[in-house]
Amino acid sequence: DTGVSQDPRHKITKRGQNVTFRCDPISEHNRLYWYRQTLGQGPEFLTYFQNEAQLEKSRLLSDRFSAERPKGSFSTLEIQRTEQGDSAMYLCASSHGGSSYNEQFFGPGTRLTVL
Amino acid sequence: QKEVEQDPGPLSVPEGAIVSLNCTYSNSAFQYFMWYRQYSRKGPELLMYTYSSGNKEDGRFTAQVDKSSKYISLFIRDSQPSDSATYLCAFSDRGSTLGRLYFGRGTQLTVWP
């Protein structure tokens, strides 16, 4: 499978715990995005990387959230001291930076439940 | 006012019906207009995109953009049960190198046999 992959697919945690999600983009895609989607809503942008550089962060990304993309390949999203409001689907997408049109391919998401 | 407005539905139609899905937007900087389809518990997948006013057709799907009214539509002809999904409109602004997409909340569609 050459699509965007995310791990784990589901995560249940207790409030106050830290969690980390991983995203593997499509090979040769140099742009990688994180979105959050809550029930009944569309995805909301969190942050964006071009290669290893984090170029934009939404105000939704509080200081409890940190994202990295070492070596410009896979990315991790860590949430510290989770809160019940963090329960959501976390989606990763990637795109080929060479095109003028920014088609983003999404992974299946990681569903987080904070108890 | 939200930048993107989309009626969440739900919308339920019989097989073979023509479906019309719509979004309005307020940001004049939006330059690319997209429709994504999302099946339950899956990530969104791109259906169609366009960057100009007018119609774009792809099989049973037609995307329509009216920039003057800030209104976009997706039409599905001869709808099939396999079209049952949530349809999300999405937009990218003039600074598309920044990458972010702005999504509507999605319209849930059910096509019954």
Closest C-alpha to B38, from B73, B88, B1, B72: B88
By the CB < 8 Å criterion, does A99 face chain B?
no
> What type of residue sits at position A43?
P
For position B69, what pLDDT does the model report?
94
By the CB < 8 Å criterion, does A109 face chain B?
yes
For position B2, what pLDDT does the model report?
75
By the CB < 8 Å criterion, does A25 face chain B?
no
pLDDT band at A11; cut points 50, 70, 90: very high
By the CB < 8 Å criterion, does A4 face chain B?
yes
Closest C-alpha to B63, from B29, B87, B27: B87
For position B102, what pLDDT does the model report?
93
For position A99, what pLDDT does the model report?
59
| Per-residue pLDDT tens over the stretch A54-111 | 988 888 888 999 999 998 899 999 999 999 999 999 999 998 876 556 688 999 999 9
Distance CA B20, CA B42 (A): 23
Question: In this complex, do B32 and A101 lie within 8 Å of one another by their Cβ atoms?
Answer: yes
Closest C-alpha to B86, from B42, B25, B32: B42
- Interface residue of B100, B102, B105, B108 to substitute, partner A, most A CBs within 10 Å: B100
For position B98, what pLDDT does the model report?
56
C-alpha B73: how far from chain center: 6
By the CB < 8 Å criterion, does A52 face chain B?
no
Say how many C-beta atoms besides its own lie within 10 A of residue A19's C-beta: 18
| Residues of B at the A interface, defined by Cβ within 8 angstroms | 4, 6, 8, 32, 36, 41-46, 49, 51, 88, 90, 92, 96-106
For position A26, what pLDDT does the model report?
93
Tokens of A19: 């969690």
Enumerate residue ranges in chain B where pLDDT < 70: 1, 94-98
Strands (E), chain A: 5-7, 10-13, 19-24, 31-37, 44-50, 53-57, 65-68, 75-79, 88-95, 105-106, 110-114
Range among A8-17, A45-54, B30-39 rated most confident: A8-17
| Contact residues for B7 (Cβ-Cβ < 8 A; gap 6+) | B22, B107
| Per-residue pLDDT tens over the stretch B45-77 | 999 988 888 899 999 999 999 999 999 999 999
Residue B72 burial by Cβ neighbours in a 10 Å radius (0-12, 13-18, 19+)? buried
What is the chain A residue with the closest CA to B89?
Answer: A42
Question: In this complex, do B49 and A103 lie within 8 Å of one another by their Cβ atoms?
Answer: yes
Read off the pLDDT of each residue in A21-40 and give the average, rounded to a whole number: 94
Left, alpha or beta for A16 (phi > 0: left; psi -120 to 50: alpha)?
A: left
Q: Residue B105: which of A33, A41, A95 has the nearest Cβ?
A: A41
Distance CA B97, CA A27 (A): 19
For position A59, what pLDDT does the model report?
86
